Amino acid sequence: ISPNTVVAACVEAFKVLPTAEERAEVVAFQCNLLRKSLPNADNGALQQVVSGSKDADFAYTLACYMADNGLLDFTNWLSERTNNVGKAAVTLQSIVFLTRTYNKAKLRSTAQGDGDSVKLVLSWENLASMLRMLTMVDNETMSQVIPNTDTTLGSQGKIILERCLQMYPNIATLTNSSSSNNANSPPNQPDEIEEAANAYFQKIYASEESAREVVEMLK
């Protein structure tokens, strides 16, 4: 069986599963299968497959699993995917993936068992990487209208940012495993959340803050 056939079969098996939890579970099995099936899988071949996959949900779910288990650097993967499919596409795909999964995010340390791999729909670490990536998207890209809608990437990005801030007010800290105790802490007041989100995107559009400074704003 050719590697391409194995990849295609994995994507099809992934797509029939209805929930994010089931998909995250099957991706863990598929990752091990692909590592055995692809020549030089652990020397970049598997990462190239994930970076170029046409099915964004499969690509992001598998990349998240691999990052959570030390098989790739998620920030670098986002850059590679941007090179493969384009900045606007990755921006939209990241927003869509976060919209579907942000409310299931947990720290990696909370899912680490004795010898078992980390199996999460979305880790805080990967969530933070995607948010940081979005802070570096230029104004021209953010102003693009999403196909078949009348809304822009920037406006949808603002919505997901507000939701993440409400659910995880400490998302940017990620200092240690004790942060997990704050994962369900009460959000800030709605007016404060809206004000922070508005300021965040105004800063990005005006290019007044570096990515590091914007991350500090999320604390």
Write out pLDDT tens, residues 54-71.
Answer: 899 999 999 999 999 998
Distance between CA atoms of residues 19 and 4, nearest Å = 25
Listed as ranges, residues in the chain with pLDDT below 70 are: 1-3, 41-43, 112-115, 171-219
pLDDT of residue 209: 47
Using one digit for the tens of pLDDT, what is the confidence trace for 71-93?
899 999 999 999 999 999 999 99
| pLDDT at residue 42 in the model | 67
- Find out whether 6 and 33 touch, Cβ atoms under 8 Å: yes
Residues 6+ apart with CB under 8 A from 150: none
8 Å CB contact between 205 and 154: yes
- Measured at the alpha carbon of residue 84, what is the angle toward residues 160 and 39, in degrees to the nearest 5? 115
Q: What is the pTM of this model?
A: 0.78
Give the pLDDT confidence score for residue 58 in this predicted structure: 94
Report which of 111, 128, 98, 125 is spatially closest to residue 25, judged by C-alpha positions: 111
Predicted pLDDT of residue 176: 33
How confident is the model at residue 172, as a pLDDT? 55
Rounded Cα gap, residues 219 and 217, in angstroms: 6
